[in-house]
């Protein structure tokens, strides 16, 4: 009986470890969707880094100058692959701050606005 209990305890522990690893694998797989060149801040039209992408490597007063869809399409996700925090704004010339993203991180946005300017 002790051997059976010991085997069940080990099996239960293995199940807990494997169960805990599954969400991590899913999360890391989702992050892999973001393709953003080193040193750049990227905007995406879709969630999780999907859809069309525009990328920036410096302070930009009007993203639409460099991004064909910047003035007409809402941003649904961002990724900051630079070493600096990037702050982004709903309007040109750094007005109407909407958020910021820490270095080497990103995520989904509400998708209800365009990002029209950004600072580093």
Question: Model confidence over 69-85: pLDDT tens digits?
Answer: 999 999 999 999 999 99
Cα separation, 87 vs 61, whole angstroms: 12
Same domain, 12 and 59: no
- Strand 77-80 to strand 41-44: parallel, antiparallel, or no bridges (unpaired)? antiparallel
Could you give the strand order of the β-sheet that contains 117-119, starting from the edge strand earlier in sequence? 95-101, 86-91, 117-119
Question: What is the C-alpha to C-alpha distance for residues 86 and 79, in angstroms, rounded to an integer?
Answer: 10
Domain count, the chain: 2
Give the domain extent around 16: 1-32
Whether residue 2 has pLDDT greater than 80 = no
Residues 28 and 41 in one domain: no
Q: What is the mean pLDDT of residues 46-53?
A: 96
Q: Tell me: do 41 and 25 sit in the same domain.
A: no
């Amino acid at each position: 009986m002790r051997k059976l209990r010991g085997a069940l305890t080990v099996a239960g522990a293995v199940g807990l470890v494997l169960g805990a690893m599954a969400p991590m694998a899913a999360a890391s797989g989702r992050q892999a969707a973001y393709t953003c060149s080193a040193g750049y801040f990227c905007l995406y039209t879709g969630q999780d880094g999907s859809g069309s992408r525009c990328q920036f490597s410096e302070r930009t007063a009007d993203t639409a100058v460099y991004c064909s869809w910047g003035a007409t399409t809402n941003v649904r996700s961002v990724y900051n692959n630079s070493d600096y925090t990037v702050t982004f704004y709903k309007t040109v010339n750094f007005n109407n701050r909407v958020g910021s993203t820490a270095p080497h991180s990103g995520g989904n946005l509400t998708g209800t606005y365009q990002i029209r300017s950004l600072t580093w």
